[in-house]
Amino acid sequence: MNDHEVDYRIIGEEMQCVEIELDPQETVIAEAGAMMYMSDAIEMHTIFGDGTNQDAGFLGKLWSAGKRVLTGESLFMTTFTNGGHGKKHVSFASPYPGKIVALDLAVLGGKVICQKDAFLCAAKGVAIGIEFSKKIGRGLFGGEGFIMQRIEGDGMAFLHAGGTIVQRELQAGESFRVDTGCLVGFTQGVNYDIKMVPGIKNAIFGGEGLFFAQLSGPGTVWIQSLPFSRLADRIISSAPRMGGNRKGEGSILGGLGDLLDGD
């Protein structure tokens, strides 16, 4: 293996974190701000990009970091290295309620494509790059734009997503449709395209938008039950107006009470 080989355990049910066990001089990389706790002997360093192009010079490092900006991430990542003796631990948590899924890239063909904000942490040596969509329709209507994250290597990587994560194994020629916002990631053998929702009535009033993501095997697909965008939209729509309050919340009249008292 070229990547560092780390042990781990995922803790919790609905608000999960992952605890990484590091042998001396082993390193894990993570998104800035993802760390939850760490042992005293863990050494933390901020780096450009994912640290896989350390011999590429300044311009190479800048390009590696710049690609992350295209996916909406920070220029910088953080490395955590066990600088002591014996096994040490560092833990990372996702920024919103959901699940963490562990990916053994050596088993998954060395490459996984995922939504832009799905990556949480990985063993040192795993490369986090960008994947450009070659299909105009997928880029315009697929929910992820023309750019997704590409995770490559032969070590462990960890993704996070909202709600519950469902893993589907697709056989060659097998396909199914997914809400574009619920797609978390897929292995490199999966063909990802978009299909329009059938029927004008379904498209306008069905509540699922105009397009589905269609995924065809062979390969593995990960799906989330609660996209963060859907959660944020529900919170915003339920939030009281500036200077107001929810007087009818929990009352028998409910929304009618809000109407009568002017809310």
CATH number at residue 198: 3.60.160.10
Judging by beta carbons within 10 Å of its beta carbon (0-12, 13-18, 19+), is residue 200 exposed, middle or buried?
Answer: exposed
pTM here?
A: 0.77
Residue 263 in domain: no
pLDDT at 196: 67
Residue 152 in domain: yes
Residue 151 in domain: yes
Residue 98 in domain: yes
DSSP letter at 27 equals E
Residue 154 in domain: yes
- Structure tokens, 46: 């901020």
Residue 194 in domain: yes
Residue 258 in domain: no
- Structure tokens, 88: 């040490």
Between CA 92 and CA 158 the distance in angstroms is 10
Which range marks the domain in which residue 210 is found? 7-236
pLDDT at 105: 95
Distances (CA, A) of 176 to 107, 141, 242: 23, 17, 43
Residue 248 in domain: no
pLDDT at 22: 95
Q: Could you give the number of structural domains in the chain?
A: 1
As averages over each run of 10 residues, the pLDDT of the chain (263 residues) reads: 83 90 94 91 83 57 58 75 94 90 94 90 89 57 63 94 92 89 91 71 51 88 87 74 49 48 45
- Structure tokens, 72: 């909406």
pLDDT at 1: 56
pLDDT at 146: 53
